[in-house]
A = this chain, B = another copy of it.
Amino acid sequence: MITNLNEEEVRGLLTEERVGRLGCIVSGEPYVVPVNYLYDGESILIHSLPGQKIIALRLNSNACLQVDRIESDFAWKSVIAFGTYEEINNAAERSRALDQLFKRFPQLTPVETLIAEDASAPAPIVFRIKVNRVTGISQSFW
């Protein structure tokens, strides 16, 4: 049975999970990458090295984050949060966002550790997807 999730269920899944797939548009084509994220109830916080998705999102700020919990081919939930890309450049706000992210993802990746040790490495980008609507469906046996 496939059912729609209500908004509370969708926001619950967004809050609980920590890996999502970020969708954006690159040169008119869809582009999807896995990301660690944090949902604070209004926005999705993400940090990233500069690259293709950042270049694309600066040009076209329409973005979505798809998050799922898949137990089997026939028992899963999937939600999508749609919104717009906003880079967090204000120093205080950026530091607050990074604090939140590092609390949730305490183990810095080797790349990030390298960045901390190497001032010449590119600074990670911190951004939010300001969520303007969410949808979700669930499939189950029952």
Contact = CB atoms under 8 A, between A and B. Distances in A.
Contacts of A25: 25, 28-30
Given A2-B111, A110-B141, A111-B139, A31 B36 contact: no
Nearest to A2: B111
Given A73-B109, A107-B74, A31 B62 contact: no
Nearest to A83: B29
Copies of this chain in its oligomeric complex: 2
Interface string A7-41: 00000000000010101110011111110100000
Nearest to A56: B30
A21 B30 contact: no
Contact of A33 (B19, B66, B73): B66
A82 interface: yes
B32 A23 contact: yes
A111 B1 contact: yes
A63 interface: yes
Contact of A110 (B23, B74, B82): B74
Contacts of A110: 1, 74, 139, 141
